[in-house]
Structure 1
Amino acid sequence: MKKLVLAVVTAAAVLGAALIPSGPPVVAATSGFGSAVSAIKQLSWQTNSSVNALAVSGNTVFAGGLFTRIRQPGKPAGQGEAARTYIAAFNRTTGAPTAFAPKLNGAVWSIATSPDGNWVVIGGDFTTVNGLPRKHIAMFSVVTGKLVAAWDPAVNYRVKALGIFGNSVFLGGSFGTVDGKVRNRLAAVRLIQGDLLPWNPNADDDVYAIDLSDNGTRVFVGGPFTKVNGKDHYSLAMLNNTTGAAFSFPAAAAIPKPTLKCTTRVKDIDTLGDKVFVANGGDGGGCYDGVLAADVPTGKLLWKNNCLGATEAIKAIGNWVYKGSHAHNCSDSGAFGDGTGTHYLLVESGINGKLGPWYPNTDANQASTTKVGPLAMASGGNDLWVGGDFLHVNGKIQQGLTRFTNAPGGAAPAVPKAPALSSTLANQVTVSFRDVYDLDNISLTYNVFRGATNIGSYKLNTYYWEPRKTITLVDKGVKSGQTVSYHIEVHDGRNIMKGPAFSVKVR
């Protein structure tokens, strides 16, 4: 029977607590993980080079990039491969490829699917598809996988970004003309007919990202441009979907203008509900690399996360914003600092931008042209697909493409070590143990057992980059001369990890 339990947290815990972001902790759901998807990598095929773009339509995921072959899960390069030239499609449920296999003569940099699920549009460097002329843009039927024969806008250079709403396809990139008409880096064509629309915002430099508000009336564009329609709009603008005129967008002022020491530009944009999320990557030490959130109707800034390490891709799911970056210092946001490694995959709260409970990881292929890790993200609502130039995910072979889902279970906490025990006073034992971490939970419950009796429970917030905490309790429910055994069990809401037992003789 438990008589008295006293808990003491050591100085290591105080240091760790300083790193915990402010605000209430995220408690694991009954699924066993704290955000929308778990940190467990699910089976999916791989690619032999970078995936630059992803999009979802129903139960199909389209991936485009620099790859020319795909291969089976877990296989090293050269084994279990099939040909796919710069574009492929995969089953969302199984991760296996579909029969969709067009032949392109150049890389794909952007993909968008129509809201009705019928069409998929791709953009990039290619000029032929299945031997037919297609100048940097092409459309396929999602149902049949066939190229739409009569849809052939002619763009004179790379299409880097795409967005679709209603009967309009918005495109951005490095081009200067569409169908022979001047369209500097931004244009729109009709989805069904493919003919050029009057929309002409006229950006003065490349466009990297496009997304539309849920009602389609606002088109968000980002890139290294400084002007749109001849007016100052550095790297980010919110445009009318019909006229191309820019709306007031106060949040854009949160992106610093270029200096001799820092040039930052928008890399990705994702909208969800009444929020738009914007990812940036900068050149120069301490240059802005983070994510900001803005209110769609007003354009006002809601929050800004200043993690260092360029953010290449983002995807909002529910109240979470998943990010692919090479983050190495988030101390300005109350999290890890330099020296803890590169955190290629993270999640932020869509409400306040604080880091949340999701810490899988990739690497970055240093032989690739980009060398940054994740480059693209997409979701069907209950999963997250990630593409990039990586070679491994969670330490296992998985090149170019991976996926995470909301399948119950999630990552289990690490197995706790045996507690340290001492008995220097009669009828009592001092029990000390170290906390552990979980890759998709922050809040963990620690139960201390004397034999089969739970003598103490502690709910602690733990982050894997912080110094491990030591928790100490005094058990006065023992008698002198007894030999008693203790062990620790850690619970994340679904998974329970039991540590080894250790015994001591009571003084």
Structure 2
Amino acid sequence: MRRKHLAAGALGAGLAVLLSLSPTAVADTAPAPGEPATVTADPQPTWQTDGVVLAMEIVNGVAYVGGNFDHVRPPGVPRGGAGEVARTGLAAFDAATGELLPWAPVVTGPVFTDTDDQIECDNVGPDQWRCDTVWEIKAAPDGSKLYVAGDFAKVNGERRYRIAAFDTATGALDDAFAPSPNSRVRALAVSDTTVFAGGHFTAVGDATRTRLAAFNRADGALLPWAPTADKRVMAMVLAPSGTRVIVGGDFNRINGVWQHGLSAVNVSNGSKGTFLSNDIPYNNSNNRSWVTDLVTDGTRVYASADGVGTFDGRLAVNPENGARIWINNCLGATQAISVMDGVLYSGSHAHRCDMQNYYEGKGFPEVRPHRRFLAEPAGTPAGARQQILHWFPNAQPGTVYPFVQGPWTMANDGVNLWTGGDFTQVNDKPQEGLTRFTTHAVSPDVNGPVQTDFKAPTAVANGGGAVTVTWKATWDLDNRKVRYEVVRSDGAVACTAEANTVFWNLPTLSCTDTGLTAGSVYKYRIRAIDPYNNRISSPSSPDITVS
């Protein structure tokens, strides 16, 4: 029998180097003990949109999506193809299967002229932007009502100025809930009794309300709660205690008090709440960040940010006093976040994650293409450096919003992670506007390591019946551990190797096939296998004659 072994001076040294780098990305769908598992990077079959998805909420097993689109269509179908149906700005899907549901309200709206956000509407003429867009969807805590907000002026032909409510049991528009903010509503937070709203508006009906307002859930009546923000509010979430509304956006002052981008307002009287974080920087209009999304897991509040020349990442804060727990600053605007089973998922166009406050100071350096999806542990202790997890699905951006292409919104039900935005492909396959992921337990990981650039190995005859085979490692979207089999052209596995790899650090590996007969001729190829036995194969090497 021919002996099969690793060359001590070749593969052994390569693995030693590789393993010293492996902590830069931990956890995956088959994590080491104590590490949080992610959903798989395999997109599940999901209907698509013909425009951008900007808002999402999952309640009672239904994934509600909103945005700027006119039709939806089945998975794998191109625009205008078989099965496409009308859905104008709002649609609903089975959260577990991705199948379209009958709910089909129609939102229509005015021309929007706020200079802060003209890029986020459809240009329909000189200085005119069509904005019948839904920007926010939030459910009542008991799941009985669904609240939507944006730029629209009508729903199903009935006047609803920028905010509306639906009964989730029947899908019907709520006749009683009809406030009238005078400009975009971008953010909502809902308690048992109250709908809190934030955005660009400066009045509700005849009453002054400066970008923040509250409405009675029962009848939509404007409430006395009237804090102020000097610029746009883009995200809101109730603190777990229910006593504070955490607000995020591109404002500089809340109730006239300077606190850029992220602050808190008391539910009881609208006063500005204590908020210790000052992590959303403002140096000047060309060097600042703003909060794009806020979520809570019942213990912490998490914020995502976009920025100009500064902070683009995520952070966690104590919701009762605003004290920072952890922060990271991957470069590349983050538009959406969702927390599920101890993991914070984000949608962005991250292009650099080796900033100083990352785990051991390491992450991926400047890369192209940008990474559109990332994951990180939500429960990182206060003061500890944050890390990125090994979960790297990707999306091909669209062209509607040229400065912030990619994912715009995320939501989950504890099992299914949905995301929508301005994208046309997911993991290099056509999928527009909408996709979803789930756990390995629900839908097993079926995609193997990355085939792109997995090239043929090099084989060199060493004499004495030995051949050394060398290859560049590949990587896997959701598993850091990849096993390699070196396969001879006679079908035998010459040797095996195992390595932890990340896309930004793909080392060269090698091993030696021994006990061969001089004069025999072989080719070699490399088989790369993930922990679930999904596999790919490299091309074969040229013929090598054993010496």
- Common fold: TM-score over 0.5: yes
State the partner residue of 1:50: 52
Q: How far apart in 2 are the matches of 1:141 and 1:292?
A: 34
Verify the 8 A CA contact 1:170 1:188 in the aligned structure 2.
yes
Q: How far apart in 1 are the matches of 2:475 and 2:367?
A: 18
Verify the 8 A CA contact 1:48 1:70 in the aligned structure 2.
yes
Q: CA deviation at 1:69?
A: 1.9
Larger deviation: 355-364 or 135-144? 355-364
Verify the 8 A CA contact 2:24 2:388 in the aligned structure 1.
no
Q: How does 1:227-306 map to 2 (within 5 A)?
A: 227-250=253-276, 252-259=277-284, 261-284=286-309, 287-306=310-329
State the partner residue of 1:320: 343
* In the alignment, structure 1 residue 181 sits paired with structure 2 residue 207: yes
Paired letter, 2:86 = A
State the partner residue of 2:449: 413
1:36 equivalent among 35, 38, 41? 38
Verify the 8 A CA contact 2:176 2:218 in the aligned structure 1.
no
Verify the 8 A CA contact 1:34 1:440 in the aligned structure 2.
no
* In the alignment, structure 1 residue 435 sits paired with structure 2 residue 473: yes
Q: CA-to-partner distance for each residue in 1:224-251, whole Å, 9 max, x for gaps?
A: 111112211111012333233333333x
Q: How far apart in 2 are the matches of 1:289 and 1:203?
A: 22
Q: How far apart in 1 are the matches of 2:396 and 2:5?
A: 48
State the partner residue of 1:74: 76
Pick 1 or 2: higher relative contact order, CA cutoff 8 A, min separation 6. Answer: 1
Larger deviation: 3-12 or 66-75? 3-12
Q: How far apart in 1 are the matches of 2:398 and 2:537?
A: 37
Verify the 8 A CA contact 1:213 1:272 in the aligned structure 2.
no
Q: How far apart in 2 are the matches of 1:217 and 1:477?
A: 74
State the partner residue of 1:148: 174
State the partner residue of 2:64: 62
2:373 equivalent among 327, 336, 345? 345
Q: CA deviation at 1:121?
A: 0.3
Q: How far apart in 1 are the matches of 2:400 and 2:176?
A: 39
Paired letter, 1:345 = F
Using a 3 Å threshold, how does the CA distance of structure 1 residues 387 and 498 change in structure 2: closer, same or farther?
closer
Q: How far apart in 2 are the matches of 1:459 and 1:298?
A: 47
Larger deviation: 115-124 or 316-325? 316-325
Paired letter, 2:459 = L
Q: CA deviation at 1:369?
A: 6.7
Q: CA deviation at 1:434?
A: 2.3
Larger deviation: 335-344 or 413-422? 413-422
2:232 equivalent among 206, 228, 251? 206
Using a 3 Å threshold, how does the CA distance of structure 1 residues 463 and 184 change in structure 2: closer, same or farther?
same
Q: CA deviation at 1:209?
A: 0.4
Q: CA deviation at 1:417?
A: 5.1
State the partner residue of 2:97: 94
**Identity percentage over the alignment?**
36
Paired letter, 2:279 = A
2:512 equivalent among 467, 474, 484? 474
Q: CA deviation at 1:453?
A: 7.1
TM-score, normalised on structure 1? 0.89
Using a 3 Å threshold, how does the CA distance of structure 1 residues 121 and 486 change in structure 2: closer, same or farther?
same
Using a 3 Å threshold, how does the CA distance of structure 1 residues 243 and 11 change in structure 2: closer, same or farther?
farther
State the partner residue of 2:107: 104
Q: What secondary structure does 2:278 align onto?
A: helix
Q: How far apart in 1 are the matches of 2:241 and 2:165?
A: 23
Verify the 8 A CA contact 2:18 2:499 in the aligned structure 1.
no
TM-score, normalised on structure 2? 0.83
State the partner residue of 1:459: 498
- Unmatched 5+ stretches in structure 2: 109-131
Verify the 8 A CA contact 2:450 2:475 in the aligned structure 1.
yes
Q: CA deviation at 1:431?
A: 2.9
Q: How far apart in 2 are the matches of 1:328 and 1:505?
A: 45
Paired letter, 2:469 = V
Q: How far apart in 2 are the matches of 1:61 and 1:496?
A: 30
2:394 equivalent among 355, 361, 364? 361
Total equivalences in the alignment: 501
Using a 3 Å threshold, how does the CA distance of structure 1 residues 268 and 336 change in structure 2: closer, same or farther?
same
Verify the 8 A CA contact 1:487 1:498 in the aligned structure 2.
no
Q: CA-to-partner distance for each residue in 1:232-285, whole Å, 9 max, x for gaps?
A: 1111012333233333333x312222326412111111111322211111124x
Verify the 8 A CA contact 1:417 1:499 in the aligned structure 2.
no
- Unmatched 5+ stretches in structure 1: none
Using a 3 Å threshold, how does the CA distance of structure 1 residues 24 and 92 change in structure 2: closer, same or farther?
closer
Q: CA-to-partner distance for each residue in 1:408-460, whole Å, 9 max, x for gaps?
A: 11431135655433332325432323211111222223344677776755432
Verify the 8 A CA contact 1:36 1:382 in the aligned structure 2.
no
Q: How far apart in 2 are the matches of 1:153 and 1:17?
A: 59
Superposed CA RMSD in Å reads 3.1
Q: CA deviation at 1:97?
A: 1.9
State the partner residue of 1:423: 461
Q: How far apart in 2 are the matches of 1:238 and 1:84?
A: 36
Using a 3 Å threshold, how does the CA distance of structure 1 residues 118 and 289 change in structure 2: closer, same or farther?
same
Larger deviation: 442-451 or 191-200? 442-451
Q: What secondary structure does 2:92 align onto?
A: strand
Q: CA deviation at 1:3?
A: 7.3
Q: CA-to-partner distance for each residue in 1:50-84, whole Å, 9 max, x for gaps?
A: 11111111221111111122222222222242222
Paired letter, 2:270 = G
Q: CA deviation at 1:24?
A: 5.2
Q: How far apart in 1 are the matches of 2:26 and 2:374?
A: 18
Paired letter, 2:55 = A
Q: CA-to-partner distance for each residue in 1:74-125, whole Å, 9 max, x for gaps?
A: 2222224222221111111232221111122122111101222211000111
Paired letter, 2:89 = Y
Q: What secondary structure does 1:198 align onto?
A: coil
Q: CA deviation at 1:210?
A: 0.8
Q: CA deviation at 1:325?
A: 1.3
Verify the 8 A CA contact 2:5 2:495 in the aligned structure 1.
no
Verify the 8 A CA contact 1:307 1:330 in the aligned structure 2.
yes
* In the alignment, structure 1 residue 400 sits paired with structure 2 residue 400: no
Q: How far apart in 2 are the matches of 1:215 and 1:455?
A: 61
Larger deviation: 497-506 or 394-403? 497-506
Larger deviation: 457-466 or 136-145? 457-466
Q: How far apart in 2 are the matches of 1:185 and 1:472?
A: 62
Q: CA deviation at 1:9?
A: 5.4
